C-alpha cells in the first residue's frame, strides 16, 4: 500500500482540487479523503505494509498519458528500445504511452504487435501500441485491422508516412469505426515538400532550402475531415502545426465531426527560427512554423479545438543528428520535458489552467484511446504523478538513450518527484531505475 498525504490533489475528470490524502491498495486507489490516517479504517491497516509519501507542497495528479511515442523497437533499438523509452516516460510523469507503428518489422501483423506489447509488460508503466493501417506502411494495402485489434491494438496509424490513396483512407476509416477505435493521421502531402523538417519560408530561404509548404498539412486535413464526416470515424490529427489546420478542426468540431487534434510541446513553444539556433535538433515533421501558427495552436489549446498534448517522442542517435541538415533525420525526444514545458509555456503564462493542462495530458488522450487512466477516484487506477510546479530545473540528463532535443540546457518550471503506476513507484527524483528495482 502507498499512503500519499498532504498533496494538492487535482482530478481533471471531476474538477477536484484540494489538499487531501490518497491510499492505494494493489493496482487501485482505495481511499481519497482528508487526514485519512486519523480514521478508524486506516488505524486497522497493517502499518508495516504501508509506504508513506509526504506530498506537502506538491501537486498529485493522474499519471500522464502520451498517445504518440516512437520507441524504435523492434528494428531501431540503437536509438531507443521499449525499456529505455518507458524509463524516459516514467521520468516525465507518464504512466501510459501508445507506441507508433514505424518499426522494423512493422506491426501490420499480430506477431510483431504482440512482441511489442509483451516487452512493454517488462517495464514499470503501461505500454500500449497502435497497429499499422497499411502493410509495411506502404499505403497500398490495408493491414488486417480486426486481427490487430484482437491482438491488442488500441488504434491505428501509419504515422511518419501520410496515406495518399483517398479510397483506401475511406475504407480504413470505415473499418476503424466498426472496430470502435480511433485512426490517427500524419498530415503531410509530399507533393508540397521539397525538403522535410523546415517550414517553407524565410528561414528555409536563408538556409538555401525550399522546405515544407504549409499546404502539405492543410490539404490532407481538409480531405480527412471530409472523410471523417462521411464515414463517422473517430479521427485524430497528429502534431498539428498550421493556423489553417487548427481552424479546419475548429469548424469540423462545430459541425459535429468526431475529430481530434494533438499539439506537441515543441510546436506550442518554438517557431521556425529555432532551426537557425539549434540546427538539426529543431528539425522535425511537420516542421516548426511561424509565430502566427504558434499563436493559433495556443488559441486552439485554450478553446478546446486541440484536445491533446502529445510528445511525438522521436529518438535518434547523436551521429544521425550531426549530419548535414538535409541528410539528418527529423524528430526530437520529448517525454522528459513535456510537463515542464506545458507548465512553463501554458500555465505560468496563463494560457491554460493547471486543470486544463492535466486534462490534455492525461484524461483526454486516455478517453480517445479507450485507456483506463487520466483520473483520480476511489476504485480507479493507482496511476499518479507527484510534482513541484514552482521549482526550476534545467534539462541535462535524460533516461532516454537519445538526447536529440533543442530543450537540453533549458530551464523550466516544475520537477517530477514521483511517478506511481499500478500502485508501485516507477520513478523517484534522483534515483536510478536499477536502484528502484533493487
Cβ–Cβ < 8 Å for 312, 264: yes
Indicate the CATH number of 2-60+379-437 among 2.30.40.10, 2.40.400.10, 2.120.10.30, 3.40.50.10470.
Answer: 2.30.40.10
Cβ–Cβ < 8 Å for 37, 68: no
Return d(Cα 348, Cα 46) in angstroms, integer.
Answer: 42
Alpha helices, DSSP H, located in 94-237: 110-120, 145-151, 166-179, 202-206, 215-231
CB crowding 258-276: b at 16 or more within 10 Å, else e: bbbbbbbbbbbbbbbbbbe
HEC states along 307-347? CEECCCECCCCHHHHCCCCCCCCCCCCCCCCHHHHHHHHHH
C-alpha cell recorded at residue 275: 532551426
C-alpha cell recorded at residue 272: 521556425
Beta bridge partners of 7: 20
State how beta strands 384-394 and 59-62 pair.
antiparallel
Task: Report residue 23: phi and psi, to 5°.
Answer: -115, 125
Residue 430: the pLDDT is 80
Return d(Cα 353, Cα 343) in angstroms, integer.
Answer: 9
Return d(Cα 396, Cα 409) in angstroms, integer.
Answer: 6
What lies within 8 Å, CB to CB, of 297 at 6+ separation is: 240, 241, 243, 246, 263, 267, 268, 306
Residue 291 CB-density burial (10 A; 0-12 exposed, 13-18 middle, 19+ buried): exposed
C-alpha cell recorded at residue 205: 530561404
Catalytic residue positions? 312
Return d(Cα 314, Cα 332) in angstroms, integer.
Answer: 5
pLDDT tens per residue, the chain (438 residues)? 999 999 999 999 999 999 999 999 999 999 999 999 999 999 999 989 999 999 999 999 999 999 999 999 999 999 999 999 999 999 999 999 999 999 999 999 999 999 999 999 999 999 999 999 999 999 999 999 999 999 999 999 999 899 999 999 999 999 999 999 999 999 999 999 999 999 999 999 999 999 999 999 999 999 999 999 999 999 999 999 999 999 999 999 999 999 999 999 999 999 999 999 999 999 999 999 999 999 999 999 999 999 999 999 999 999 999 999 999 999 999 999 999 999 999 999 999 999 999 999 999 999 999 999 999 999 999 999 999 999 999 999 999 999 999 999 999 999 999 999 999 999 999 876 555 665
C-alpha cell recorded at residue 175: 473499418
Residue 272: the pLDDT is 98
CATH 2.40.50.1070 fits 63-368, yes or no: no
Residue 438: the pLDDT is 55
The domain segmentation of the chain, as residue ranges, is 2-60+379-437, 63-368
What lies within 8 Å, CB to CB, of 334 at 6+ separation is: 264, 265, 266, 311, 312, 313, 314, 405
Closest CA to 39 of 15, 54, 19, 20: 20
Residue 432: the pLDDT is 62
Single pTM value for the model: 0.97
Amino acid at each position: 500500500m502507498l499512503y500519499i498525504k498532504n498533496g494538492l490533489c487535482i482530478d481533471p475528470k471531476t474538477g477536484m482540487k484540494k489538499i487531501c490524502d490518497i491510499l492505494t491498495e494493489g493496482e487501485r486507489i482505495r481511499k481519497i479523503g482528508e487526514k485519512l490516517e486519523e480514521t478508524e479504517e486506516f488505524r486497522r491497516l497493517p502499518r508495516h505494509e504501508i509506504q508513506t509519501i509526504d506530498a506537502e507542497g506538491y501537486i498529485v495528479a493522474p499519471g500522464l498519458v502520451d498517445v504518440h511515442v516512437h520507441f524504435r523497437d523492434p528494428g531501431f533499438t540503437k536509438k531507443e528500445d521499449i525499456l529505455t523509452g518507458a524509463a524516459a516516460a516514467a521520468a516525465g510523469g507518464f504512466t501510459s504511452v501508445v507506441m507508433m507503428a514505424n518499426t522494423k518489422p512493422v506491426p501490420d501483423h499480430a506477431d510483431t504487435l504482440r512482441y511489442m506489447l509483451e516487452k512493454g509488460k517488462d517495464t514499470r508503466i503501461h505500454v500500449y501500441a497502435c497497429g499499422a493501417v497499411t502493410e509495411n506502411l506502404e499505403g497500398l494495402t490495408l493491414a488486417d485491422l480486426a486481427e490487430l485489434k484482437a491482438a491488442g491494438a488500441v488504434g491505428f496509424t501509419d504515422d511518419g508516412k501520410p496515406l495518399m490513396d483517398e479510397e483506401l483512407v475511406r475504407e480504413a476509416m470505415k473499418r476503424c469505426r466498426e472496430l470502435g477505435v480511433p485512426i490517427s493521421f500524419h498530415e503531410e502531402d509530399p507533393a508540397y515538400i521539397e525538403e522535410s523538417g523546415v517550414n517553407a519560408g524565410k528561414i528555409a530561404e536563408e538556409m538555401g532550402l525550399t522546405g515544407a509548404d504549409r499546404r502539405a498539412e492543410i490539404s490532407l486535413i481538409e480531405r480527412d475531415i471530409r472523410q471523417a464526416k462521411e464515414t463517422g470515424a473517430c479521427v485524430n490529427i497528429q502534431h498539428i502545426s498550421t493556423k489553417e489546420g487548427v481552424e479546419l478542426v475548429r469548424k469540423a468540431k462545430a459541425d459535429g465531426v468526431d475529430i481530434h487534434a494533438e499539439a506537441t510541446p515543441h510546436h506550442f513553444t518554438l517557431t521556425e527560427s529555432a532551426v537557425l539556433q539549434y540546427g538539426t535538433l529543431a528539425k522535425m515533421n511537420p516542421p516548426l512554423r511561424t509565430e502566427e501558427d504558434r499563436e493559433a495552436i495556443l488559441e486552439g489549446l485554450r478553446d478546446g479545438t486541440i484536445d491533446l498534448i502529445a510528445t511525438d517522442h522521436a529518438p535518434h542517435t547523436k551521429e544521425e543528428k550531426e549530419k548535414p541538415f538535409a541528410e539528418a533525420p527529423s524528430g526530437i525526444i520529448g517525454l522528459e520535458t513535456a510537463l515542464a514545458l506545458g507548465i512553463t509555456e501554458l500555465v505560468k503564462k496563463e494560457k491554460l489552467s493547471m486543470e486544463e493542462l492535466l486534462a490534455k495530458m492525461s484524461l483526454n488522450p486516455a478517453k480517445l484511446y479507450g485507456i483506463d487512466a487520466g483520473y483520480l477516484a476511489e476504485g480507479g487506477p493507482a496511476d499518479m504523478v507527484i510534482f513541484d510546479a514552482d521549482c526550476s530545473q534545467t534539462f541535462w540528463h535524460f533516461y532516454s538513450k537519445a538526447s536529440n532535443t533543442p530543450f537540453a540546457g533549458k530551464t523550466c518550471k516544475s520537477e517530477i518527484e514521483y511517478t506511481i503506476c499500478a500502485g508501485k513507484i516507477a520513478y523517484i527524483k534522483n534515483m536510478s531505475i536499477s536502484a528502484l528495482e533493487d
